[in-house]
Amino acid sequence: MNEQLNRIVSTQPSNVLDIRFWPTDICDYDCTYCFPDSHPGIHRYPKNIDTVINNFRTLFDVYTKKFNKTEFWLCLVGGGEPTLWPHFNTFCREIKKEHNVRLKVTTNASRTLRWWDQNVEYLDRATLSAHHEFIDIDHFMKVGDFLYECDLNIGALMLMDCEHWDKCVAIVEKMKTSKQPWIIEAKSIVQFPGKDINSYTQEQIDYVANTIKRVPDPKYILKHIDDFNVFQSVALFNDGTATTMKSEDYIHNKWNYFNDWTCHVPIENLVIVYDGTVTGSCNANIFKDAKINIFSETFKEEFEEKSFDLKPIKCPFKVCNCLPDTHITKYIS
């Protein structure tokens, strides 16, 4: 554990609750480096999408009442491909009607342009994740250009596999030839056994240290400026210094060992996994022994009863390799 770093303060606005929702465990890719059990394809979809939508509204109301959350950043993500969820369109259309919800999706961009045309109006941001084993780069670039031309805040994220480095770099260079100048980022893969940061050469680490490989037009950045600072935090050190940080800074410096730190995950960030279980990030249990499920017909009663016990928890994990999680407010107890 780093002995100098003693506190991380999220720059996420205090009125915001960030939620990562994994709506499906089915994926049309099967990347060798994806995290274990990422897409087993064994979980049934909830039968009643109206129940799911109403349960999300209950969650929003409880967090508004308890923690003064008035804005909800909801990201559809997961090891499964979220755009394959049959209820994607209905959910995205309805979930924004009663609350201030900003919808984001992290996707491999494999769906057709027709599909994107039918769904883009409900989205506020899209991250297109590029995977060298399966990507159709020409289609990927067409999707990126289409979403950019729809004035969606859109960026590409190249997952840099240290074992297939030249291929990944070539894909980044190909992206730079797209018609529209959407942002391109390149990041290391650090969540799969055998592919932690120690697997990368120093040259590779230097390459991903500067994650931005193409910057959009300045007017585009200014229009979407709020989203360009989502994954930021301030790190405080024992000598009294403080500095803004990127996720890569924590991981590359091995400052991501937070076991037994006090973490504000129940207040700042929730994860809802494939079977509907509501947890903290990295599946941290924030409800003690209770299992709260957003797909349940009894969610309203169970969540309203348990939610008021929510408070910062002791981090149960040795290492934090999930990029958004490194920025959650936390400190040495």
- What strands lie across the sheet with 278-279, from one edge to the other? 212-214, 183-188, 153-160, 125-130, 101-107, 71-76, 16-21, 269-272, 278-279
* Amino acid occupying residue 317: F
216 has a pLDDT exceeding 80: yes
Domain ranges of the chain: 15-229+264-306
Q: What percentage of the chain carries pLDDT values higher than 70? A: 93
SS3 8: strand
Q: Which of 154-158, 206-210, 216-220 has the highest mean pLDDT?
A: 154-158
Task: Taking residues 102-125, report their average pLDDT.
Answer: 96
> Phi/psi class of residue 320: alpha, beta or left (left: φ > 0; alpha: ψ in -120 to 50)?
beta
SS3 59: helix
130 neighbors 171 (Cβ within 8 angstroms):
yes
* Amino acid occupying residue 237: F
Which of 328, 323, 327, 325 lies closest to 159, judged by CA?
Answer: 323
Length of the chain (residues): 333
Average pLDDT, rounded, for the chain: 88
Radius of gyration of the chain (CA): 19
Supply the pLDDT for residue 197.
64
205 has a pLDDT exceeding 90: no
Residues linked to residue 8 through DSSP beta bridges, in sequence order: 235, 330
CA dist 223 and 153 (Å) reads 9
Kind of pairing between the strands at 233-237 and 242-245: antiparallel
The pTM assigned to this predicted structure is: 0.89
Q: Domain 15-229+264-306, what architecture?
A: Alpha-Beta Barrel (3.20)
Supply the pLDDT for residue 1.
43
Other C-beta atoms closer than 10 Å to the C-beta of 267 total 22
Higher model confidence: residue 56 or residue 209?
A: 56
Q: Which of 154-158, 223-227, 248-252, 273-277 has the highest mean pLDDT?
A: 154-158
CA dist 264 and 331 (Å) reads 9
